[in-house]
Amino acid sequence: MKVAVVGATGLVGTRMISILEERNFPVTELIPVASERSAGKQVQFRNSAYTVVTPAEALDMKPTLALFSAGGQTSLDWAPRFADAGTVVIDNSSAWRMDPGKKLVVPEVNAEVIGPNDRIIANPNCSTIQMVVVLKPLHDRYRIRRVIVSTYQSVSGTGAKALDQLFGERKGEPVNRVYPHPIDLNLLPHIDVFQDNGYTKEEMKMVKETCKIMGDDSIRVTATTVRVPVVGGHSESVNIEFESDFDLAEVKQLLAAAPGIVVQDEPSRAFYPMPLYAEGNDEVFVGRIRRDESNPNTLNCWIVADNLRKGAATNAIQIAEDMLQRGLL
């Protein structure tokens, strides 16, 4: 299988290539793709060097699968051209997520929505992915009315230049500022651009994407997203209101049995999810599972995942694996 990785030299693209190798995805030929200025560079995959090509060159090579992580405009410009040529595109940008004709997929939640005619599949926002993995088994059992989420999102979610700003500030060096304020020793309640309603685009992504992935527009979601001076791994404080009461022990059992989830919930010995230890893993970690004593039928929990892996690259490759297993690739 010829597999193109569009955005192969970026943070997520490089993760995609390494995860394809880790998971032994059946790649017969890797096609690393980037912009004109990166064309000609070398990428390592399975002890071999592959030359980075432009999107136009990759299109001529007729890949079976294209994993896109090169920004929304690149996806809008090129994903339809690859799809028209018969390539299955899994896109990590926000370009197609809310398009009613495109499926928005987290395999543990809604892989079954992908059909044989889907040629562009959207990969959700990183913070949405880890939350819905936890929400799914709870919604199936108790039906969720409302979700209040506050995120603590790492700098790697912005990209390599943001990491340069963080490390430069930490060393006291002059930096090219990606954020409007310093990020080291600071928190920024500002991810993506502000909308007319006072929420950021990132916050509204979580609202809209959650309902689409869960297949239930009745779930009310409100979000506050915050950038924190952590290198990798997004964390979320999530408050979940159900239609009826729940059993706390059963909640923990449901989560422990659900695919892709690791429960870390032993507060007596300070055992709970942390981004430092989630980094480099593909699971979603959940802990601090407890009743909200201020509101009936309501649960609090703390969710952590590696934003470059499960929040982006791994989820895209899991979509491809599911499609392969079902004969859709």
Give the closest residue to 157 by CA, choosing from 324, 307, 51, 6. 307
- In the sheet with 120-122, reading across from the earlier edge strand, the strands are 29-33, 2-6, 65-68, 88-91, 120-122, 103-104
Give the closest residue to 316 by CA, choosing from 109, 124, 83. 124
Annotated catalytic residue 126: yes
Q: How many angstroms separate the CA atoms of 239 and 299, rounded?
A: 6
User: Coil, helix or strand for 299?
Assistant: strand
Q: How many angstroms separate the CA atoms of 136 and 144, rounded?
A: 9
Q: How many angstroms separate the CA atoms of 280 and 286, rounded?
A: 16
Q: Is residue 301 within 8 Å of 240, Cβ to Cβ?
A: yes
Q: Per the residue annotation, which of 139, 190, 234, 301 is the catalytic one?
A: 234
Structure-token pair, residue 134: 């936890």
Q: Per the residue annotation, which of 126, 139, 190, 211 is the catalytic one?
A: 126
Burial (Cβ within 10 Å: 0-12, 13-18, ≥19) of residue 270: exposed
Q: How many angstroms separate the CA atoms of 236 and 201, rounded?
A: 17
> CA angle at residue 19 from 17 to 21, to 5 degrees?
75
What is the torsional sign of CA 322, 324, 326, 329?
A: positive
Task: Determine which helix (DSSP H) or strand (DSSP E) holds 324, and give its type and residue range.
Answer: helix 314-325
Beta bridge partners of 234: 305
Q: Is residue 30 within 8 Å of 50, Cβ to Cβ?
A: yes
Give the closest residue to 11 by CA, choosing from 164, 121, 180, 184. 164
Where in the sequence numbering do the catalytic residues fall? Answer: 126, 234
